[in-house]
Amino acid sequence: MANPNEVPKYTQLFINNEFVDAVSGKKFPTINPATGKVIAEIAEGDKADVDLAVAAAKKAFHRNSAWRKLSPLERTALIEKLCSLMERDKYILASLETQDNGKPFTSALGDVMFAIMSLKYYAGWTDKFFGETIPGGDFVVQTRKEPIGVAGQIIPWNYPLVMLAWKWAPALAVGCTIVLKPAEQTPLTALHMAALSKEAGFPAGVINVIPGYGPTAGAAISEHHDVQKVAFTGSADIGRIIMQAAAKTNLKRVTLELGGKSPFVVFDDVDVDKAVQLTHDAIFPNQGQTCCAGTRTFVHEKIYEEFVKKSVALAKARKIGNPFETTTTHGPQIDEEMMNKILGYIEIGQKEGAKLQCGGKRAGNVGYFIEPTVFSDVTDKMRIAQEEIFGPVMSILKFSDIEEIIDRANDVEYGLAAGVITNDINKATKFANNVNAGSVWINCYNAVMPQAPFGGFKQSGIGREMGRDGLNNYLETKTITTKIV
Ligand code: NAD
């Protein structure tokens, strides 16, 4: 069960199936955001360690390696074994995640289950990525889908285990090898997963995990000449740096899952109470630290006042506290820096003329908690309606008709997700077809599932993860042409 005192067993780098210290000998602390206290000192990888990990991953990808010689169904069996070990260790994984990230334990447990589902989904794909036979006259023309090679994977702190599963699963399904860097704020579950991968029986070098900081370990991955692909989830600013690094070095393939400022539109033909709950659940879980969160709530003018009042009541009802308590629904932000950034945005919102309806302050003085916050009277050009806050801040805007709302929904730099609540199929379809977003949810929100592609339009990213689309990120297409003589 939940264990607030779970001691992390693994604190070193994981290279070639061994836990080792960093070449530099350096360590960094990982902090519990609910208490501000250090949980453990973690080996701090940088370029020298990334070089070793990439060399191990390259060797494991050699055409004669144990990994490359496995049949597709043997890869399936390894991924499934990993899933069963995660199931066995689910309370350990969730307890480590809650300590490291601060999310309520029940959410952390949900993340473990979602990570398992994502791996299981891709376990079924190992023998289902097909080439084609193409008419070529006197030639036999075929395509083969081949694994790309060593994949670099750089992930954020908001869903550490889920992001790891989204990166590992398609790469392992097609037979790539991996060097993953978890976020410096949340290395613990990635290291436990490294241990489970060894126990599951993945050959040495297939999976390597290098905790460390972005500009050192992260940059070493994105600049490495033997890394053929980098998959990144995080902020748009760092996404740009990763693309530049790829361009300046070996033109490695890049996929980016970045931020969002997603619109969630509520028409006046709906059950207001249900809509209030849906829009609340679109922003506040995970303390607002969700890339696809519905951060711009557009409400039809006819129901606006009632909607604001009820949204405030729900936000006030969230239970802030120790994330290991079963009654807690609202934990801390990830660190002091993010907490201050969010408080800064709340101040900006007030200065810009938005009406602070509730929250707006730090909660307590231990840990990095922020009161669930609701702004009404928000207008499109306010910074809180344009920039990603990544915190528990709901902005409610008013609208009157469908044409207007499509233009306004699209009037931001991002395009990760969007939602609409209405009983009118015409309005829902028109909105879904015209909004610039990688995922559109009708009468639901955050309905993310392993079998459906996920990713962004515009500055929310490049490429799609999950579903069949997600496999392509780790594949090259080879055309083989044979002359019939
Ligand atoms: P971040 O971009 O600062 O960090 C993400 C990762 O990149 C971390 O592992 C970090 O160490 C690494 N990194 C930092 N500098 C680097 C560099 N120079 N080279 C290589 N790697 C580097 O983002 P964050 O603050 O950890 O996460 C929050 C952001 O991530 C938000 O903007 C959020 O919207 C976005 N996000 C997007 C998705 C998505 O699926 N689209 C999912 C989660 C988070």
Q: Whose CA is nearest to atom 22 of ligand 1?
A: 214
CA distance 391 to 372: 9
If we measure between CA atoms, which residue out of 235, 278, 206 comes closest to residue 60? 206
Sign of the CA dihedral running 459, 441, 453, 293? positive
- Taking the CA of residue 234 as reference, the ligand 1 atom at the shortest distance is 30
- Taking the CA of residue 181 as reference, the ligand 1 atom at the shortest distance is 9
pLDDT confidence of residue 221 = 98
**Cβ(291) – ligand 1 distance below 6 Å:** yes
Amino acid identity at 158: N
- Per-residue pLDDT of the chain (485 residues), as tens digits, is 999 999 999 999 999 999 999 999 999 999 999 999 999 999 999 999 999 999 999 999 999 999 999 999 999 999 999 999 999 999 999 999 999 999 999 999 999 999 999 999 999 999 999 999 999 999 999 999 999 999 999 999 999 999 999 999 999 999 999 999 999 999 999 999 999 999 999 999 999 999 999 999 999 999 999 999 999 999 999 999 999 999 999 999 999 999 999 999 999 999 999 999 999 999 999 999 999 999 999 999 999 999 999 999 999 999 999 999 999 999 999 999 999 999 999 999 999 999 999 999 999 999 999 999 999 999 999 999 999 999 999 999 999 999 999 999 999 999 999 999 999 999 999 999 999 999 999 999 999 999 999 999 999 999 999 999 999 999 999 999 999 99
User: For the chain, what is the HEC assignment?
Assistant: CCCCCCCCCCCCEEECCEEECCCCCCEEEEEECCCCEEEEEEECECHHHHHHHHHHHHHHCCCCCHHHHCCHHHHHHHHHHHHHHHHHCHHHHHHHHHHHHCCCHHHHHHHHHHHHHHHHHHHCCCCCCCCCEEEECCEEEEEEEEECCEEEEECCCCCHHHHHHHHHHHHHHHCCEEEEECCCCCCHHHHHHHHHHHHHCCCCCCEEECCECHHHHHHHHHHCCCCCEEEEECCHHHHHHHHHHHHHCCCCEEEEECCCCCEEEECCCCCHHHHHHHHHHHHCHHHHCCCCCCCEEEEEHHHHHHHHHHHHHHHHCCCECCCCCCCCCECCCCCHHHHHHHHHHHHHHHHCCCEEEECCCECCCCCCCECCEEEECCCCCCHHHCCCCCCCEEEEEEECCHHHHHHHHCCCCEECEEEEECCCHHHHHHHHHHCCCCEEEECCCCCCCCCCCECCEECCEECCECHHHHHHCCEEEEEEEEECC
User: How far is ligand 1, taken at its centre, from the CA of residue 156, in Å?
Assistant: 5
CA atoms within 13 A on the CB side of 352: 20
CA distance 63 to 78: 19
Amino acid identity at 375: F
**Cβ(223) – ligand 1 distance below 6 Å:** no
**Cβ(390) – ligand 1 distance below 6 Å:** yes
Q: Which of 100, 155, 158 to mutate to test the pocket of ligand 1 (most atoms within 8 A of CB)?
A: 158
**Cβ(233) – ligand 1 distance below 6 Å:** yes
pLDDT digits (tens, 9 = 90+) for 64-115: 999 999 999 999 999 999 999 999 999 999 999 999 999 999 999 999 999 9
Angle at 466 between CA 465 and CA 470, to 5 degrees: 60
Q: Which of 163, 189, 233 to mutate to test the pocket of ligand 1 (most atoms within 8 A of CB)?
A: 233
Angle at 229 between CA 192 and CA 52, to 5 degrees: 55
**φ, ψ for residue 130 (rounded to 5)?**
-105, 150
Q: Which of 238, 333, 334 to mutate to test the pocket of ligand 1 (most atoms within 8 A of CB)?
A: 238
pLDDT confidence of residue 344 = 98
0.90 surpassed by complex ipTM: yes
Helix axes 90-101, 72-88, angle to 10 degrees: 70
44, 184, 223, 257: the active-site residue: 257
Q: Whose CA is nearest to atom 20 of ligand 1?
A: 218
Q: How far is CA 42 from CA 31, 79, 205, 212, in A?
A: 11, 27, 21, 8
CA distance 435 to 184: 35
Is the pTM here over 0.95, yes or no? yes
User: How far is ligand 1, taken at its centre, from the CA of residue 62, in Å?
Assistant: 31
User: How far is ligand 1, taken at its centre, from the CA of residue 162, in Å?
Assistant: 14
Sign of the CA dihedral running 309, 312, 316, 319? positive
pLDDT confidence of residue 352 = 97
Q: Backbone dihedral region of 480: left (phi > 0), alpha (psi from -120 to 50 degrees) or beta?
A: beta
CA distance 100 to 7: 11
User: How far is ligand 1, taken at its centre, from the CA of residue 271, in Å?
Assistant: 37
User: How far is ligand 1, taken at its centre, from the CA of residue 308, in Å?
Assistant: 32
**Cβ(285) – ligand 1 distance below 6 Å:** no
388 belongs to the catalytic site: no
Amino acid identity at 468: R
